Structure 1
Amino acid sequence: MEKTQFVENISESTLVDSLFLIKRADLRSKRGEQFAHLTLADRTGVIEAKFHGEKAEEIARIIQVGRVYKISGKGRINQNGEIHVFSDSLETAKDIFAGPVTLKPGQETAFIYTPADLNANALEIQKIIGTIKNGDLKLFVACCLDGRFYGCPAAIRRHHEYTGGLCEHSLETVKIALSLVDIIPRTDINRDMVIAGAVLHDIGKIFCFDKVGYGYVPNDTYNLIEHITMGIMYIDEYKNLISDDQLLQLRHIIQSHHGSYGDVIPLTVEAWLIHEADSGSSLLRSVVDDLAETPTGQKKKGLRSEKFLWHAV
């Protein structure tokens, strides 16, 4: 079966009958009724789907996340003004029970959603790393990055939740941090440490997602340990490349980059700078993406930012 319909074309009352990648699947309930809640994706975007009826529990249980399924239903606008796919048809259940669809070589590109330019982002962040003056620190950062860093998402939902999102978020963070270094006078900031810390602040996330099928799925490490601990453990593998003082500073930056929401509060100017740059990248990305889904002239609470936003005319 060829893909003939895309997320960007689904609106109110659109009859949906096409192939979609399943990013997430779980069983939820509302007013005592259970329904299978799926997140569908293709190269044009992401959309939520809800399947009601007696087969809902079984649908949520058998779905293989990261694989492509034939999905049918109807576009419907929910109470928050967001479009989703709704179905309670047994025919829909039958399509899902038939199992994932085997794609032809090259066909998978139609199902991988990412607004990020993976190659351009990788080249730009490598160029910035190349400006680190301390040779040992430059080598250390380069050794910490591998293929997982460039393909991994940065989150499940809130921000940069797509393929290549981790690299894009890290690139934004380091660029914001360096711009602040350049514009704020009378500062004594270690530029090399800012670059290293900003690039590596979320490096532990490469252990929190598994590549499954054509997508990324959060694993038990994501739920039980999280990325900060994993990041500190990971950079210690290369600790012989840098001084003890440099390692301590990087550990502190990773440990404290959540600011007042974390277990450790930033104490160095570099740590505070990276916390603010990280917050700027993640918050603005979530706000911008929420507003993109908000009708012009309307106000609503964004799913990613969890803030009330108004789409200016």
Structure 2
Amino acid sequence: MDQTPTQTQTPTQTQTPTPTPTTNLAIRDFPTNGIVSGKYLLLDSRLKTDKNGKPYINGVLGDNTGKISLKIWGAGQEFQEQITPGCVIEIRNAQVREFNGFLQIELDAARKNTYQIYEANSEEVIALLPVTPSDRDELWQQIETAVASVTATHYKNLLQRIFGNKETQRLFRNIPAGARKHHAYIGGLMEHTARVAALCVKMAQVYPEADHNLLVAGALLHDIGKIETYNLSRGFDMTDDGRFFGHLVIGARLVEQEITRMRTDEGLAFPEQAAQKLLHLLLSHHGTLEWGSPVEPLILEACLLHHADNLDAQAMRFGAARRDAVGKDWVYDETLARTIFVGDADV
């Protein structure tokens, strides 16, 4: 007997709605698995190869609210030569995804209708740069408080001359502490310096044999060379002097020149050994030759400054990872070079 075959029924599937594109959304407000459009600053761009041997761009986009990882699939050497940090990328309907606990934007180099790359003027670049989450006026007050804690006349005169200069103030309030690794945002130098100085004030209390005046003066000036190391007109780009000499040498040079002007132009006393020790703190604060210091710490104050500097840089990375991580308790931080816990503290 013939049997009529039964009709196979296809299960009803729930369609996931396509996310509505969001235009010119601040990076800090990017939705996970959302679609975004807007203009963002390219902060970093590096050519890499995936596990299948195909090239891609691993970059970082930023605006004045934060940063996000950028992947441009299928982009090779020719594409890499067309883009440099400091250019603006206008993205159209780009996908935001979570990867390893952080958000990233993905583009396909072949789909040229989804992005446009162009050179921006310095005003537009600066407007898109990430900014410290801290209040910059409060940070400056912390700098002034640390200066006021220095009682030795020669150190105090030096600090007042340097930080009293209007152009130095302008640069110091805006320059980052680094281009990639820590405090890489407008105001980062001032934030980092204020915290290192605060740590050194406490260290001088814990180690009373340390010279408070020397230590705090060194903390306030340890990264002063960065005001001539970075140029904001093309993102966090380095100046020629920054590339040739580095901020340690530039900083020591700036301080030594100011000490010379104090002595010759103003007739102000600055003991020779005090100058030597202060310059030693500036040149040794990275701690080791491998980390870029031309000399290792040789006095207690230099040792304390090195550890305060490194402590704040690493603490900032832990704090940023906790703030930026999405949906995971454990994430890998490239700067710290290890997987760290960023889950709730109240477990």
Superposed, which structure 2 residues align to 1:111-150 within 5 Å?
112-145=130-163, 146=168, 147-150=170-173
Partner of 1:269: 300
Partner of 2:210: 189
Partner of 1:9: 29
Contact 1:295-1:311 within 8 A present in 2 as well: no
Distance 2:279 2:296 in 1: 12
- TM-score, scaled to structure 1: 0.85
Q: Give 1:202's match in structure 2, choosing from 223, 240, 252.
A: 223
Partner of 2:16: none
* Worse overlay, 129-138 or 41-50: 129-138
Contact 1:197-1:254 within 8 A present in 2 as well: yes
Partner of 2:276: 248
Q: Give 2:203's match in structure 1, choosing from 154, 161, 180.
A: 180
Structure 1 3/16 Cα, relative in aligned 2: closer, same or farther at 3 Å? Answer: closer
Structure 1 111/225 Cα, relative in aligned 2: closer, same or farther at 3 Å? Answer: closer
Distance 1:56 1:87 in 2: 13
Distance 2:240 2:33 in 1: 38
Structure 1 108/169 Cα, relative in aligned 2: closer, same or farther at 3 Å? Answer: closer
Distance 1:66 1:265 in 2: 35
Structure 1 4/295 Cα, relative in aligned 2: closer, same or farther at 3 Å? Answer: closer
Q: How many equivalent pairs are there? A: 305
Superposed, which structure 2 residues align to 1:205-284 within 5 Å?
205-213=226-234, 215-240=235-260, 241=262, 242-260=270-288, 261=291, 262-284=293-315
- SS at 2:137 equivalent: helix
Amino acid corresponding to residue 243 of structure 1 in structure 2: P
Q: Which structure has the greater CA radius of gyration? A: 2
Structure 1 94/297 Cα, relative in aligned 2: closer, same or farther at 3 Å? Answer: closer
Q: Give 1:44's match in structure 2, choosing from 46, 53, 65.
A: 65
Structure 1 266/225 Cα, relative in aligned 2: closer, same or farther at 3 Å? Answer: same
**Per-residue CA distance 1:131-162 (angstroms, 9 max, x = gap):** 32123321212333412222111112221111
Distance 1:312 1:168 in 2: 25
Structure 1 253/89 Cα, relative in aligned 2: closer, same or farther at 3 Å? Answer: closer
- SS at 1:38 equivalent: strand
Q: Give 1:169's match in structure 2, choosing from 192, 197, 200.
A: 192
Aligned residues: CA RMSD: 2.8
Cα displacement (A) at 1:89: 5.4
Amino acid corresponding to residue 250 of structure 1 in structure 2: L
1:29 aligns with 2:60: no
Contact 1:65-1:212 within 8 A present in 2 as well: no
Q: Give 1:81's match in structure 2, choosing from 74, 78, 101.
A: 101
**Per-residue CA distance 1:32-89 (angstroms, 9 max, x = gap):** 3222333211122100112123x654443333533433123211233x3322111115
Contact 1:129-1:141 within 8 A present in 2 as well: yes
Runs of 4+ in 1 over 6 A off after TM superposition: 105-108
* Worse overlay, 287-296 or 239-248: 287-296
Contact 1:25-1:39 within 8 A present in 2 as well: yes
Cα displacement (A) at 1:255: 1.6
Contact 1:64-1:100 within 8 A present in 2 as well: no
Distance 1:201 1:117 in 2: 22
Distance 1:48 1:76 in 2: 10
* Worse overlay, 20-29 or 226-235: 20-29
Structure 1 86/269 Cα, relative in aligned 2: closer, same or farther at 3 Å? Answer: same
Structure 1 95/291 Cα, relative in aligned 2: closer, same or farther at 3 Å? Answer: closer
Distance 2:283 2:113 in 1: 45
Structure 1 202/132 Cα, relative in aligned 2: closer, same or farther at 3 Å? Answer: same
Distance 1:118 1:294 in 2: 25
Distance 2:281 2:121 in 1: 44
